[in-house]
Chains A and B, each alone.
Chain A
Amino acid sequence: MVSNLSPWSPSAREIERQSFRRASHNRKRLIAVFSTIFVLGSLATVLITSPGWKSVKETFFDIEYGKEVFPTVIRGLVVNIQLTVIGGIAITIIALALALLRTTKSPALTPFRFIATAYVDIFRGAPLILIILLVGFGVPALRIQGLTSNVIVLGTVAVVLTYSAYVAEVIRSGILSVHASQRAAARSLGLTSNQAMRYVILPQAIRRVIPPLLNDFVSLLKDTGLVSILGVTDAVRAAQINASRTFNYTPYVVAAILFLLITIPLTRYIDRHIRLRSEQQNSEGVA
């Protein structure tokens, strides 16, 4: 007897409810707008009317000089990006190997487990700038035949050595966070230990640690600037050379903006990935 019923229309109470909610929502939005204008407006006014604003604008935000130094800073940034991409690939491979060595249950690989643990401890604990100096200037001083003394290569090696330690720990935490039942189920289906790791555990582990891995990638992009102490001209060094000639620090601001233009889209992508993944996880219970 469904067809005789009239289509649903809201009751008086429902209408009252909806109008109250709408009014409340509009009031909140209005307050938000006014509050934002007031606070940001006061901050901007304080900034612009402060006694040093004119010289700050000339020293840090000189647009003409910024345009002049832009080509040299961009050329330096290309060096940063090249180091990041090549380093990133090497880091992923080495870090994965280290993480697997540390989580393996095979008794034959025990000495490698110790070596991997020592490696991670040393290179996570020592400051990156020290490693760069040691590898960049110290290794060529040994005069070992066949070892390159090219500063870009040595600088990249130093950065890769340090970042592999960090990323290895991230991947290892991902592997350990996969529930033991996954491994048990895989083994009970007849997969060997290695097959279980390769087909069941690693895919889940990597999916889980993609946000921290992307964080490390963003941090790597910025840390490649440290190889400039070996004499490589990257974006920061290019900015420094220009700024130290004229004592106008706009080149630093230009370099910072260029770095932000790369890192902010990456971090927004990370946020979006986290959001989608948590929604996916929350809906996984619905089978």
Chain B
Amino acid sequence: MKKRLGIFAAVVIATGLTLTGCSSSNSTESASASCAKEDLATIESGLLTIATGEPAYYPWIIDDAPETGEGFEGAVAYAVATQLGYSNDEVKWVRTTFDSAVTPGEKNFDFNLQQFSITADRANAVDFSTPYYTAPQAIVSFKGSKIDGKSSIADLKDAKLGAAVGTTSLDAIEAQIGISPSVFNDNAAGVSALKNKQIDGLVVDLPTAFYLSGVEVENGIIVGQLPSTGSGDQFGLLMTKASPITSCVSGAVDAIIADGTLATITDTWLAVGAGAPVLKP
């Protein structure tokens, strides 16, 4: 009796698994032809869900409050939303980590902006809009550190540099400087290590470098900026792969470039000038 029960249970479980295994795949949506607000396939209809990082640093977002629209990326986000036909009340903000946004998979936002550089590998996993800014990498340090006053990359060979995981800053350390870096989950951890003098320098994009050296790090300095590698320095709005709204969002960015809105925003928030010398090889 018990033996038969065992056989019966095994057969039932196996057939059950075979049947559930034959599930149909999800059908993909076709891209909408029109970019009118009613046709836009946002995740919540009638609302535009925009994501950024936590915390969001100056000058990209002021006071970690993107709803105010202050800060370069805050202003760009609202400019794109207006171009797409959304009023300021119809914009919803969410926060994501840098790493989780770049990985493939479904997203909980329509587009995400937190200084994402456009790279070929990332473009395989997510969609990018037209670039809205170009920024090189720079090294933040503190006065009296091992790399204070260095002017060439060769002088950095025995320094301890840090960067956040999954960023082009990390790639820059390994590719352009050629040393093995300290890798952190995010820039906040890297800044803690820099303040504790556990690393000699932190590699981030140039505007963030100005903020960190001016405000966050005591006696902070910018050692210099790394020579541009071309495509790796352009920031784009990030959307899920094959998103139906990519072409419309790109079109919106093109529009605000064409009519000068983006130039005004850049001058307002990123008038940092050429304060950081380019490091020699």
Contact = CB atoms under 8 A, between A and B. Distances in A.
Nearest to A38: B14
A106 interface: no
B180 interface: yes
Nearest to A59: B104
A167 to B, nearest CB: 28
Nearest to A237: B183
A229 interface: yes
Nearest to B174: A241
Given A39-B14, A151-B193, A229-B189, A247 B124 contact: yes
Given A39-B10, A233-B180, A244 B197 contact: no
A46 interface: yes
A140 B124 contact: no
Contacts of B185: 229
Given A245-B166, A247-B103, A137 B17 contact: no
Contacts of A194: none
A203 interface: no
A45 B165 contact: no
A155 to B, nearest CB: 11
A252 to B, nearest CB: 12
Interface string B13-55: 1110110111101000000000000000000000000000000
A95 B65 CA distance: 47
B229 interface: no
Contacts of B21: 45-47, 49-50
B104 A247 contact: yes
B4 to A, nearest CB: 10
Contacts of A150: 198
A39 B12 CA distance: 10
B7 interface: yes
A35 B165 contact: no
Interface in A25-59: 31, 35, 38-39, 42-43, 45-47, 49-52
Interface in B70-117: 99, 102-104
A240 B183 CA distance: 10
A244 B196 contact: no
Contact of A244 (B6, B17, B102, B193): B102
Contacts of B197: 140, 149
A42 B14 contact: yes
A35 B25 contact: no
Contacts of A43: 14, 17
A2 interface: no
A145 to B, nearest CB: 14
B255 interface: no
A233 B170 CA distance: 13
A51 B10 contact: no
Contact of A231 (B103, B125, B171, B189): B189
A143 B15 CA distance: 65
B184 interface: yes
Contacts of B99: 244
B166 A244 contact: yes
A230 B102 contact: no
B79 to A, nearest CB: 30
A6 interface: no
B182 interface: yes
Nearest to B180: A233
Given A50-B21, A137-B196, A149-B198, A241 B124 contact: no
A130 interface: no
Contacts of B20: 46
Nearest to A249: B103
Contact of B7 (A35, A151, A229, A233): A35
Interface of A: 31, 35, 38-39, 42-43, 45-47, 49-52, 137, 140-141, 149-151, 228-233, 237, 240-241, 244-247
Interface of B: 3, 6-7, 10-11, 13-15, 17-18, 20-23, 25, 99, 102-104, 121, 124-125, 162, 165-166, 170-171, 180, 182-185, 189-190, 192-193, 195-199
Given A46-B17, A231-B189, A247-B125, 19 more contacts: A31-B3, A35-B7, A38-B11, A38-B14, A39-B10, A42-B18, A43-B17, A46-B21, A49-B22, A51-B23, A137-B193, A140-B196, A149-B198, A230-B193, A231-B199, A232-B182, A237-B165, A241-B170, A244-B99
Which A-B residue pairs are the 6 nearest by beta carbons? A244-B166, A46-B21, A231-B182, A140-B196, A42-B14, A137-B192
